[in-house]
Amino acid sequence: MPVAVVTDSTAYLPADLVDRYRLTVVPLIVVLDGAQRREGVDVGPADAAQALRARRVTMSTSRPAPEQFAETYRRLLADGADAVVSVHLSAELSGTVEAARLAAAETGPRVSVVDSRSAGMGLGFPALAAAAAAARGAGLTEVRRAALDAIDRTSTFFYVDTLEFLRRGGRINAAEALLGTALSVKPILHVADGVIALRDRVRTAGRGLARLVDLAVEAAGTGQVEIGLHHLAVPGRAADLAAELGARLGSRLHASYLTEAGPVIGAHAGPGLVCVVVHRR
């Protein structure tokens, strides 16, 4: 492959897609009670849910070190790649893109970094698009363009049981958190230009899932789409969401992927998270 594609662990891609598209995944860091662990390697979704429910456990997240990216880029180039395109979690949500850009500046012009302006499969679909272009033999500029085009065709919506975790992590402001908790209102959020924003409010989790379906179908338009689904510790909700989307989208649904969110996103969304990402083909 002339261009190697790198992403990070918050894409929450199914393992078979990572292998099929020859993606390189750099893990973000999760800190549990002071101990640093690599997301998807040393710590997984079950650990996140347990830690978040046991409030006595302190949990935080951090970006990979720039040197980790630099080592990855140097290895891929040494192994025969002509160039590297590195697609990552929104810069508004994490310093991961900054770390990747620092490493790219050190490595040289054959490395290009793309800010997905999203998370989960909102990052995963652009990474897959870049990898598909690379597999066709595209060069650096075309592979980067494939990722950017996919970003423009991707919409991300999610439901959380409470805004407390997002507020605590500084990913949503206190005023929005107050709106989300008043009268036990359940928040529906979306990612708008890289930032998490309140999209709607409902009274129950059931209505929240129904609203996610409506938003996803609206975002899908009239063409073919791929759907990415994530959850944290609520597989039943995710399965119901997948079934309803399949029924509503019918033959327009080209493919759907369901994975559990890892501890980096989980730390800021909390158990109960359900997310749907729409990628218009």
Same domain, 166 and 235: yes
**CATH label of the domain that carries residue 112:** 3.40.50.10170
* Contact between 167 and 184 (Cβ < 8 Å): no
Q: Kindly state the tokens that stand for 66.
A: 């720039």
Angle at 91 between CA 88 and CA 97, to 5 degrees: 45
Same domain, 126 and 201: no
Q: How many domains does the chain have?
A: 2
Same domain, 101 and 23: yes
Q: Kindly state the tokens that stand for 207.
A: 């209505």
- Considering the domain boundaries, does residue 33 fall inside one? no
Please list the pLDDT of the chain residue by residue as tens digits (281 residues): 699 999 999 999 999 999 999 999 999 999 888 889 999 999 888 888 887 777 656 778 899 999 999 999 999 999 999 999 999 999 999 999 999 999 999 999 999 999 999 999 999 999 999 999 999 999 999 999 999 999 999 999 999 887 777 776 666 665 555 555 555 678 899 999 999 888 988 888 899 999 999 999 999 999 999 999 999 999 999 999 999 999 999 999 999 999 999 999 988 888 889 999 999 99
Please say whether the dihedral angle defined by the alpha carbons of residues 218, 173, 266 and 41, taken in this order, is positive or negative.
positive
**CATH label of the domain that carries residue 250:** 3.30.1180.10
Task: For residue 168, give every residue at least 6 positions away whose Cβ sits within 8 Å of its Cβ, in sequence order, or none.
Answer: none
* Contact between 61 and 264 (Cβ < 8 Å): yes
Query: Whole-model pTM?
Result: 0.92
What is the separation of C-alpha 18 from the centre of its chain, rounded to a whole number of angstroms? 14
Same domain, 142 and 160: no
Same domain, 90 and 20: yes
CB atoms within 10 A of CB 271: 19
- Considering the domain boundaries, does residue 17 fall inside one? yes
- Considering the domain boundaries, does residue 55 fall inside one? no
List strands edge to edge, sheet with 35-38. 35-38, 29-32, 59-62
Same domain, 17 and 135: yes
Instruction: Residue 213: give the domain boundaries.
Output: 154-280
